[in-house]
Structure 1
Amino acid sequence: MILPENAKSIVPSDNSAVIEQTAANDTNDHKDIDVTVSDNGINLATIFEPYFRPDENTIVCGALNNEKVTALAAAGVELVLNLQPDDELSFDERAAVERAGMHYEQLPISGTQDLKQLKILAFDNMLRQYHGKKIAMHCGSGNRVGAAMALRAGWLRGRKMDTAMERGRSHGLTKLAEEVHNRLLVPR
């Protein structure tokens, strides 16, 4: 295969081919374009905003709709993990996800009041059940997903503060960063 000049080939552990190509023209603040065989040729970055891809099997995005659920299913996602409470949903997400042939889990995190160790333990349990599977996690913006990932890394995995915070940022942590930082300061 011949790659474009601004692309690089990566071979992940599952031996599927991945090609990363940086947009040649950044006048519209485009992110890197990831075209992956494991996404069945679907460029999810053009469908989701916000969109985070911390690793090949993990997608973090904002709120879903029927079109986005269909795109995730076509891209080979096996689990949709929703951190939004029901009052934030605009449609029957569980039914749409299950109709599309994916598993659905919901762990409502409304805000800082829900960033407690019991919620993070439940979050960790869900991720462990689907370890190695392609998953999409979402909330309204990815911020609560990032917060949960940072707290999981710090509280449950014993990662240092910088490592836990970076893990959170790679999964969408933004506005909750100071709160997460303060919570990580308290030993669990």
Structure 2
Amino acid sequence: MTQYTHSESTTNDAANNDADNGIDLANSLDPYFRPDNQTIVCGALDDEKIAALAKAGVELVINLQPDEELSFDEAAAVRQAGMYYEQLPIGGADDLKQLKILAFDNILRQYHGKKVAMHCGSGNRAGAAMALRAGWLRGRKMDTAMERGRSHGLDDSLEQEVHNRLLVPR
């Protein structure tokens, strides 16, 4: 799993800084997952983090947090920063259903090729959605789907639930 903390320095950081217009997102976002150059996964946003994402060239912010978890008008802040905004509330394991994952897939397809930042409170729900998308909609094997989820922030608290859901054919 590629998770960066504020104290880590890796060779990938330099490459990502170049891809991010010189913005050091690893020091701006916590947690911070970078599965590829076009995808950033992080925890909850605020005005400073939104500004950093915009400066880094992010074109779309996907918010997986329900409204009750938000402390400000994130949609307005993201749009004011010049980025597209999509919200697909996933409050927890009960929301990890096929219809939600289909909607998530639709958003990703709609903005294919764009630089995307997706977030929830910690990246865990984003990772869960990516794992389920890989398994249910892309036909990936269990290990591959789970690794895809972990690279996007899936952690121990939802890992078993995602694994169990992937066991059931969709």
1:64 aligns with 2:42: no
1:169 aligns with 2:147: no
From 61, 64, 73, the equivalent of 1:83 is 64
For residues 95 and 81 of structure 1, what CA distance do their matches in structure 2 show? 13
User: Any stretches of 5+ residues in structure 1 without a counterpart?
Assistant: 1-27
Q: Which amino acid in the other structure matches residue 160 of structure 2?
A: E
Q: Taking CA–CA contacts closer than 8 Å with sequence separation of 6 or more, which of the two structures ends up with the larger relative contact order?
A: 2
For 1:155, the equivalent position in structure 2 comes to: 136
User: Any stretches of 5+ residues in structure 2 without a counterpart?
Assistant: 1-5
From 2, 16, 30, the equivalent of 2:8 is 30
Q: Which amino acid in the other structure matches residue 37 of structure 2?
A: E
For 1:114, the equivalent position in structure 2 comes to: 95
Please give the per-residue CA displacement for 1:50-104, whole angstroms capped at 9, x wherever unaligned: 0000000000000000000000000000000000000000110000000000000
Q: Percent identity?
A: 76
Q: Which amino acid in the other structure matches residue 125 of structure 2?
A: R
Aligned length: 161
Higher strand share: 1
Tell me the TM-score normalised to structure 1 length. 0.84
For residues 81 and 120 of structure 2, what CA distance do their matches in structure 1 show? 19
Higher helix share: 2
Deviation of 1:30 after TM superposition, in Å, equals 1.8
For residues 184 and 119 of structure 1, what CA distance do their matches in structure 2 show? 15
Deviation of 1:31 after TM superposition, in Å, equals 5.0
Deviation of 1:37 after TM superposition, in Å, equals 2.0
